[in-house]
Structures are given as structure tokens and as C-alpha cells.
A and B are shown apart, each in its own frame.
Chain A
Amino acid sequence: MKRHTNMTRRRLLAGAAATTTFLAAPTIVRAQGGALKVGVLLPRSGVQASIGQDCQRGADLSVSLLKSLGYPDITLMNADTETNVDVARTRAEKLIADGAQLLVGAFDSGQSTAIAQVAEQKGIPFVINIAAAPPITEQGYKFVFRNFPTAPMILGDAFANQKELFEAAGAAPKTVVFMHVNDTFGMAMKGGIGAVMPKFNMPYQIVEQISYDPAARDLSVELAKAKATGAEALMVVSRLNDAILLTREMVKQRWSPMAVLSMGPGWYEDQYLKTLGKLADGPLSFVPWFDPNKKLSKQLEAALAKAHPDINLNTNHVYTFEALLVAADAFKRAKSTDPKALADAIRATDITDNVSPGPGIKFDAKGQNDKLKDSAIQNRGGKLVTVAPKVAANAKVEWPMKPYDKR
């Protein structure tokens, strides 16, 4: 009985606290000495599945490549956003609840916006791989960082690169017909082109704008209309499937414009190249890309070739890799997995040994890398070469595009 009365509430509390400390100790030690847990959110199913899976390839090969470059270990916690904003939000919350110390993703502006809200609320750093909508980094967020150009940056560079190419080729179209998808992305690009183009004094006029449904099964009518305008070149904002459909229709309807100037995805993607073979050669895409002359670009290209020999390095791999590079670099400097310390370290990022064109990775006060540059790339024999800007080019432009009936 006497022994029993010795167990006071104070002693019980002290004992419980000691036990908790003892049990929690290994966890704390592990967090300090272990790998950084990075939650990777990508649309690996749904409408954007093929692009999400392509980004995932970039994420998967980053782990060993970053380690070989001397960066500390990172562990990927992968989550599928199912191309759905609400799913993206709940998956981000779950990843954080499961112990993710930093988030990376999510290819799409809508999904990235939802994840950014969660990350800011929970105080977990979020490094965006691909998303171009300007408002994401205009909200005053402290934990959101983007190493990807905004839509106005993409368009400005596109027109600057076009002028550089026209000068190099000694020729330019006088008229273009502008075809674009009528989804959020396509309409935003249409608005952006209308606003940005006049500032660049381009040598051509847009003779007609033709919008179409990105899920269209047949684009024969749309292309017949474009051909009937008599424009010298085709300017286009498309997705993958419609890029293939438009090319097929150009061949079938026997129309070979002087150039195809693509201001979005589709025309440079692996599936486009594989599906169309020699008919894929020629189009110019003005996109966020990589500088083929940088040392790390060659290393990333080699790592991808080893893991996926039949896939060309592209935007999806490059910017997913760089998002993880930012994470690993911050972890190395912060020497901690504390979210605030990681966010402070990301804010102080200054990486010059990188892949994307431009001086390197550095974030402004809003968390945006505003020094990024875009490239002009051209399809050549199933491969992609960079033709502008000159500082990040590895080939000269082929102009005009070889007619489809002469291939």
C-alpha cells in the first residue's frame, strides 16, 4: 500500500514525459541525419497523364543524379493528382500529414495554385516545377517558389527568338494564320499574344484566328479554313493530340506553310516525333527548354538516355529535375529538415551549375526565378535541336520548312 501511495500525479506526469522523450528521440535523430522527404505531386492519371508520367521520369532519375553530384539524399513520396485540382489539394495535405518536408509539382497552374495554398497554410516549402500562370507568385506567399517562366515571360522570349531566327534565315513570313485550342491555356495564350506581340514589331500580320476544341476528333475543317486564308505560316497554340491531327491534315490537304511556329506543347513531344516520323521534322517550338551547352544538361541527358533510351530530354524532365535540385541544394545548405530553415535556404538559392537557359536559379522577393530564358527548338530527324537564342543554341535553323510532299 505504501508503495502505491508514492506514485503521485507529479511523478506520473514526469514519467510520461520521460517516456515520450525516449520514444521520440530516434525520430528526431532520424530527421536530422536522414534523407529529405520530398512530396512529388504530378497528374499521373487523367487527361494530363502522359505529361505527368513524363515529369515523373524526371523526378525518378533526379535522386541518383543529385547524389552523384554531391547533394544529400532525398526520398521521393509520390502522389497522383489525377489531373484534378481538388485531388491535388487533398494529396498535398496527406503528403504533409505523412511526413513530407517539402513539396514539388504539379505541372498544371490550377493544381499548383491549390497546392500552394496548402503549403502556405501548413508552412511547408513548395517548389513548382511547371506552371505558368502569373498569379501563383503574386500572392505574397512565403513558402512558394517557382523555377519556371510565367506566361508573359514565355511569350516575350518567343517573339524575341522569332525575330532572331528571321534575321538568321534572312526571310520572314508576311502573314500567319493563328490556330489555338479554346481551353484555359489556349485562351490565356491568345490574350497574351494579343497584348505582347505589338511590343515586338513583328514582320507578319495575323490574317485569321481559328479556335478549336482540344478534344476534337477531326481537325480537317479547321485546317481547310486555315489553308484557305493563304497565310505563309501557321502560328499555333495546341496540345499533343491536336498537333498530330493538324500535321496529318496539312499533309492530306497538301498545304506546306513556310513555317509552323508553335507557342506551346505538342509539336516537340516524343509521341509527336514517333507518331509522325519524317513528317514531324521542321516545326519550330518556342518553349521553356534546356541549354544543351551546359555541363549539367549533358549529365541529365546521359542519365535519361540510360534510364529511357528512346525518350528525348524535354521541358518536363528538365524543370522537374531543377525543382528537386533546388530542394536538395537548400537541404544541403540548411543542414536541417525544418520547413522554415528550408524555405529560408531556398530564398537564398544561387545555383549557376544548372540546366535551363539563363544565368542560373535565383528567386526574387516573390519566389519567382525571373532570370529564366526560353528557347526556340526545331524537330530534326526525330531529335530536337536548339536554334535560338544564340547563346544557348546547338544548331542553325532550317528555313523554310521542307514541303511535306518532298520528304
Chain B
Amino acid sequence: MATDTEVDLTPRLKTDEMLINMGPQHPATHGVLRLILTLDGEIVRHTEPILGHLHRAQEWQGQNRTWFQYQALIDRVDYLSGMFTSWAMARAAEVVDGCEVPERAEYLRVMVSEMNRITSHLLWLGTYLIDLGAMFGFPFYPFREREKLLELFEEIAGQRMMFNYIRIGGVMRNPKDAWLSKLKKFTEEFPDRVDEYEAIVTENPIFLKRTKGVGILRKELGMDYGITGPSIRASGVNIDLRRTKPYSVYPKLKFDVPVNDRDGDTFDRYIFRIREMRQSNEIIKQCLDMLPQGEISGKKQIAGLRVKAGEGFAAVESPRGTLGCYIISNGSDRAYRIKWRNPSFCNLSILPELLKNHPIADVMAIFGSIDVILPDVDR
């Protein structure tokens, strides 16, 4: 309040920060994230993410469903990589139960999971280009390859997205020879397709302008916030559970974990996902060659499935990062307590830091680059 004695120093043309409410119905927020942005012109000064629009009490439901029922439900936690949520829970339950998983089942798990990693990254690639404004054209090319994998999933699991394929103790179904040969054919042609994407995107001057030097994630900051997955590997932290804390048959497989040598920007996060897809393809190829014969489940898949009393934690490397599951079982047909560690939730927490002082056009470029799945955030 200016009194008579005070001098009015405000300029004639009053400028003010503008509060803009992005989402939850915004077309580009990948679902139902709400961001309250404080804008100075077009520059974002402050971001406040509002979570929980998609909260479905997945952990509570785990305590109120039998193991057998809950297995079918958890694919919905991260709908783009259902295999990994299934696998994390199955591994945690196996740690508690102490049951053996047959080797063939382990190979099948690795195979389908890496397929799932490819589908997840492919969808990310398409939607990311949409975030950058390539509304038509390129975004549909990844879907072409994704469709082939989804058909394979449909054949082996009966579902295209909510697989319910990896079960406690093993996997659900044995693949047919025809399925394996189809997958082999896919792995042979997939690298060419990735080259195709790179030819369109990686060299595109507008794409480079939009992504290089945008949203730089410092290594230390990322570690402080607990970022995992390709996003932090693109910033130079070598965390990949498949290597650093090996599980399943990963020690027997030959593959690279691409790690950046500097603080990564949006472009690095893109290029590291592309490299991961190539590696996943290599892993699938090896699994197809090494796949042994034998049982596919160490536990009988019946409605009255029980897990021995005890508690345990297991984590897998999902397309988005470390996906962990903590289980307390009292030996009954349902869990006593289940707690999830979701990579999307932890990765999203960095968003306000990354968005600071970027123009509003970069909001989606940065948000898309950390690859967040909203159901995975809210559970």
C-alpha cells in the first residue's frame, strides 16, 4: 500500500507473474498430472506438481486380494511395463517363500521383460516426439514395431498390455516353437528399424535444437533425488540392477549398460533409451539361443496359492528405473502388507528442479524425457 509520503517505484506498465494450471486435463501431461506453473512471461519460475488423481490403493488391494488375484492386478500399476511389476512382485514373493524358479522360466522371464522394455521405450519414443510437437508422422513408426511385439505378447499371455504372465514361482505358459521363430525374426529386423528412427530423429536439426542443453540433470542432484533408470544413466551414474545387483540369468548374458560421461540433457536421455533398446534386442537374441528345456513353474498355479510367512524385498530394473516390492506374508493366501517402490514417483520428484527457468515450451520436452507413467506415480 503506497502512502502519500512513499514514492511509487512500480513501473507504469504493471507486469506480474502468471499462474497457469497445466492439467489434469491438459492433452500433453501423459494422463492426469496437474502442474501449477508460475510463469514470468513464458519462463517457468516455480512448479508444483499435484499428484494422486489416479490413486487406486494398489498396496491396500494387495492386502485384500489373494496372491492369485493380486498377480492379475499389479500389471495395471505401470501399464506400459506390466512384465516388470509382475516380476518384481514374483521375485519378492519367491524371496519370502524360498521356492526355486526353473531355469527355463528365468530365461522366459528375461525374454518377455526385455521385449516389454522395448515396447515401453518405443511408446515413449512416439509420445516424446508428440511432446516436442511432431504431432503426426514419426510418432506412429515406433507403434508399427510395438504392434508386432504386442501380438507376440497376446499369443503367449493372452493379453496385449495386462499380461499376468510372470507368476510367483515361474511363468504361466510355454511358448510354441512358432512363437520363438517369430520373435527371432523380429530381433533380426529390429536394429534396422531403430536405425530408421535415428535417421529421422537423431539428425533432425529442429529436434536437436529443442533437446540439446535443455533440462540438464546434474549427477549429484539426480542422486540426491533418488533418480534411477535411463534418466540417471544418461547423467553418468552407473546404476543398473541387471549389472550392479544381478538377478535371474542376467550374469550369464552379454550386454552393455550405456552410461554417459557427463551431466545429461534431454537429448542424452533420448539417445540412451535408443541404445537400451538395441541392448535389449541383443539380450532377447541370446535368450533365444540359450533357452533350455524343462519346467516353467516351481509352484503350482492354483487359486489357493500361498506364500510362506516372512518378509522380503526384491527389485528389478524396469524401463523407468528401480522397481522394488516389499512383502510381509503371514503364510495365508494373501499378503499381510505390500509396499512398492515405484521409479516414476521418485523420478517425477526432480521435475520442479529441472523446469526452473525454462520456457513453457520446454515443460513437456523435459517432462517427457524423464518418462513418467502416472499410474505408476499414484499407484
- Do the two chains belong together in a single complex? no
